């Protein structure tokens, strides 16, 4: 059962209208607007569609950025958000696809249920090709929204979570037989999700969620002591927790893991080792 509807352009529409894509999304309006303004995630979360982005300007109004698509073609995109009208318009101002406009309308159907309706306008398409071009846009948007839903839901879960401070005397916990475990290991300590990383024979433990929007860092990429977040590409040091881009962001690293008698243990600062 498809989770979206694609309608070809209708007679009497604008001459450059190539089709309309719509689908329900299990997210809030707030998360959807946040996602629209979030230009940084394009080459990370949507890496199959974009490979790079360079932002010229951004604010509550929207953003304007030069993006490179998966075929290496560059476009200058501008997204303008109108929260009162519950819509945003993305225009290609220059480069590949110049003149294209994508109008996205959002209808709230419930607290965690919205409908997006997206009209694609592409200049210079012959009448015979309208449906084909529209369907191609719909396929791209299907992928983009599948990827966006996972991020918006993850962020929603994180914002709802209440994380209690760890007690200094939280006892060490055994994670099992070391030889049976593979790394990076997603686990928990004192009820909070953590990751045990094995780097050159040494264990490092960090919080499992990225402090930016809450991505699972285990799905990021690690090189040496640096892990790169899969959603926006921020890089964190596994020892200090520091972020190389935004100095105010830190991942919690005050955990320890060690092997004893063939078993792997985890503890927190102050816990007995």
40 is an interface residue for Fe ion by CB under 5 A: no
Q: What gap in Å lies between CA 106 and CA 91, rounded to an integer?
A: 18
Q: What gap in Å lies between CA 208 and CA 217, rounded to an integer?
A: 6
Nearer to Fe ion, 119 or 148 (CB): 148
Binding mask 53-92 for ligand FES (x = CB under 6 A): ----------------------------------------
Quick one: which H or E segment has residue 25? strand 17-25
46 is an interface residue for ligand FES by CB under 6 A: no
Site for ligand FES in 200-229 (CB under 6 A): 210, 212-215, 229
Nearer to Fe ion, 173 or 216 (CB): 216
Q: Looking at the chain, which runs of residues are DSSP E strands?
A: 4-8, 17-25, 50-59, 62-69, 74-82, 87-95, 101-110, 113-121, 173-177, 185-189, 192-199, 202-207, 221-223, 226-228, 235-237, 255-260, 263-268
* Number of Cβ atoms within 10 Å of the Cβ of 169: 9
Partner from Fe ion, ligand FES, none binding residue 231, C-beta < 5-8 Å depending on class:
ligand FES
- Interface residue with ligand FES among 39, 50, 121, 231 (CB under 6 A) is 231
Nearer to ligand FES, 87 or 212 (CB): 212
Helix (H, G, I), strand (E, B) or coil at 247: coil
Q: How many residues sit in the footprint of ligand FES (CB under 6 A)?
A: 9
- Interface residue with Fe ion among 17, 64, 148, 267 (CB under 5 A) is 148
Question: What residues make contact with ligand FES under the rule CB under 6 A?
Answer: 210, 212-215, 229, 231-232, 234
């Amino acid at each position: 059962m498809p989770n979206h509807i694609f309608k070809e352009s209708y007679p009497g529409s604008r001459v450059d209208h190539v089709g309309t894509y719509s689908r329900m999304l299990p997210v809030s309006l707030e998360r959807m607007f946040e996602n629209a303004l979030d230009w940084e995630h394009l080459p990370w979360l949507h890496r199959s569609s974009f490979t790079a982005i360079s932002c010229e300007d951004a604010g509550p109004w929207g953003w304007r950025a030069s993006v490179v698509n998966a075929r290496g073609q560059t476009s200058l995109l501008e997204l303008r958000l109108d929260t009162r009208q519950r819509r945003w318009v993305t225009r290609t101002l220059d480069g590949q696809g110049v003149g294209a406009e994508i109008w996205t309308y959002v209808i709230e159907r419930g607290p965690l249920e919205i409908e997006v309706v997206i009209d694609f306008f592409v200049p210079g398409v012959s009448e015979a090709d309208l449906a084909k071009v529209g369907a191609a846009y719909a396929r791209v948007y299907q992928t983009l929204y599948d990827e966006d839903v996972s991020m918006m839901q993850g962020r929603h879960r994180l914002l709802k979570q209440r994380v209690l401070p760890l007690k200094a005397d939280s006892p060490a916990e055994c994670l099992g037989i070391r030889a049976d475990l593979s790394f990076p290991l997603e686990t928990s300590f004192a009820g909070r999700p953590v990751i045990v990383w094995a780097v050159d024979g040494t264990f490092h433990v960090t919080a499992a969620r990225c402090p930016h929007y809450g991505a699972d860092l285990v799905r990021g990429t690690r090189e040496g002591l640096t892990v790169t977040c899969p959603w926006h590409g921020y890089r964190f040091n596994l020892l200090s927790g520091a972020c190389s881009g935004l100095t105010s962001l830190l991942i919690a690293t005050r955990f320890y893991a060690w092997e004893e008698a063939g078993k792997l243990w985890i503890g927190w600062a102050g816990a007995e080792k």
